[in-house]
Structure 1
């Protein structure tokens, strides 16, 4: 096949969450021709599930609503004009004799690239819903699996079920507005980070170890909930105006895990330089795992930098180990002039 007639990129990033978006920016700093592909019709990845949530742990950024952080990351990702392809779930991968990868979407489009960076995050997530008879009829009213408008909880009695980071973070946000917040978890210990858990315990009513066993309502609104003690089976009843369930997500990576990549229980294995078991394919963000992996947005940014640097060296072994810092990087000269002019 004549490679001159093909549109071949230096790097193709699969996944448009924080790792993928920052990688698109950083690969531009490295003067790499970049394509970013996401299965959804908008960038943002898993962060789109909690747009109203306040994010505190990104370096140098004041507490910011997730939706605004996504907007900033999108603008940054577009700094060097990468090609962005939305609505294409990548399925197949093959390497040609000339070492060019061909990745093909489920809709049949093919993309040609010299390296691949997998930033698939948590994959195509599906919310774990309540498996309780009749629960679905309340979903359009006061049973919530995600939150897009915090104001609806003002002066309400709110019950939250879950013990992970999202459930705890929502409790800490909602308690500022609600009349009362009760957090129910099936175990005594919460899996979220220590400080938010301590904050939640100081401001919300905690009921452990309990699970939701039945919902009682009128029409399409929940009015009260039966809670069952996980150890004794004893039943407690509590009235609530709004119910938030955050029991996690089922992860589906589609065909990406069929490529022959080494993997562990929680992600595709990479080495300290974000290299997978297949030369030329790299990983970043929640999709990957390694010994010192940090599962924070800030950690995804660092993964992205390491992965892009490795991809650059894979293509050009004599290239510098990293991009020049922005204050001295000639890629920003004209952009800095434009900003100063404004």
Structure 2
């Protein structure tokens, strides 16, 4: 097993809450390490990179991909250690109060405190259960939409009836040559305004249907037709496609908080029952973002930032009871004096 150097805090999760925790840890003079299951930072925002984000204070509406870029730049300001593509499997606390975070690769990471910023858990798209479907994932079977432009002028079939599937259909309708939607029920399960927009558009909706066959092209490497079967009478319909997008929801792995730290108190919906200062039932383990519940919880990205700042301030007090409870604001912080000079020099050039 590989064991790494001790840091003040290990942050598990590299989404908005984890990245802001890393930034604020540096602001408070603590060494930090982020461990993230995905191969890239940004968290759940990668699910909808082109969707516009409106509800972050002081940030004009921007696509999620742009928000990710800014979050990563800010989160790495103080050069935290980054461990990507690594699944955390356990958290152990020793007799000295220090923590060892174990990973599936055999790596062991040591810290004096831990912040859990794992969102809703590790997200994996629910894949379509048709034999051989996985071979099309490198060509024209998609489980997410990373670029709308990728589908310009193409015939696109979307499977799903929830908010994300409906959003993709609405956003692709003016871009693609043709957008079709298949859903196994007769009523869509999305926000009323988005459903109304969809039903008034040129999107072709096939209700009470499901995909039963993916028909390959002559080269056998792309989907050329899709068989839709009626859920009521099993009658089949063949539709020509250039791309198929599946949105049947996501499977979440929350085993870390269920097994990795057995003493953590959880809510009925498997979130961490914490405090408004991001504390948990285990001393030295704190939480931020979607995984945390407390009475003052704000379920927005802006709320994740507050959780993160509270978690870091709590870590600081846990490690040094003589420390001030709150970090100094950036406008008066000596840490930024030279950085501010550099920024001003760039602005006046």
TM-score (norm 2): 0.82
Structure 1 gap ranges (5+): 1-5
**Which residues in structure 2 correspond to 1:1-342 (within 5 Å)?**
7-188=5-186, 190-203=188-201, 204-219=203-218, 220=220, 221-230=222-231, 232-233=232-233, 235=235, 237=237, 238-258=239-259, 259-260=261-262, 261-263=264-266, 264-290=268-294, 293-317=297-321, 319-342=323-346
CA contact (8 A) 1:92 1:103 kept: yes
CA contact (8 A) 1:53 1:170 kept: no
Q: 1:318 Cα shift?
A: 5.2
Q: 1:148 Cα shift?
A: 3.2
- More moved, 233-242 vs 247-256: 233-242
Q: 1:188 Cα shift?
A: 5.0
Secondary structure at 1:139 match in 2: helix
Q: Distance in 1 between matches of 2:209 and 2:176?
A: 22
Can you list the C-alpha shifts for 1:182-227, whole angstroms capped at 9, x where unaligned?
3333345555455544444443344444433333453344344344
Can you list the C-alpha shifts for 1:276-316, whole angstroms capped at 9, x where unaligned?
22122111223334456555433332322232233233334
CA contact (8 A) 2:278 2:311 kept: yes
- Aligned pairs, how many? 336
CA contact (8 A) 1:160 1:171 kept: yes
CA contact (8 A) 2:276 2:297 kept: no
Secondary structure at 2:138 match in 1: coil
For residues 72 and 140 of structure 1, do their structure 2 counterparts lie closer, same or farther at Cα, with a shift above 3 Å needed? Answer: same
For residues 201 and 310 of structure 1, do their structure 2 counterparts lie closer, same or farther at Cα, with a shift above 3 Å needed? Answer: farther
For residues 152 and 256 of structure 1, do their structure 2 counterparts lie closer, same or farther at Cα, with a shift above 3 Å needed? Answer: same
Q: 1:117 Cα shift?
A: 0.3
Structure 2 gap ranges (5+): none
Q: 1:256 Cα shift?
A: 4.3
For residues 38 and 333 of structure 1, do their structure 2 counterparts lie closer, same or farther at Cα, with a shift above 3 Å needed? Answer: same
CA contact (8 A) 1:24 1:82 kept: yes
Can you list the C-alpha shifts for 1:100-145, whole angstroms capped at 9, x where unaligned?
2222333333333222101123444332111124533433333211
Q: Distance in 1 between matches of 2:27 and 2:51?
A: 30
TM-score (norm 1): 0.84
Q: Distance in 2 between matches of 1:240 and 1:292?
A: 48
Q: 1:153 Cα shift?
A: 1.5
Q: Distance in 1 between matches of 2:24 and 2:196?
A: 37
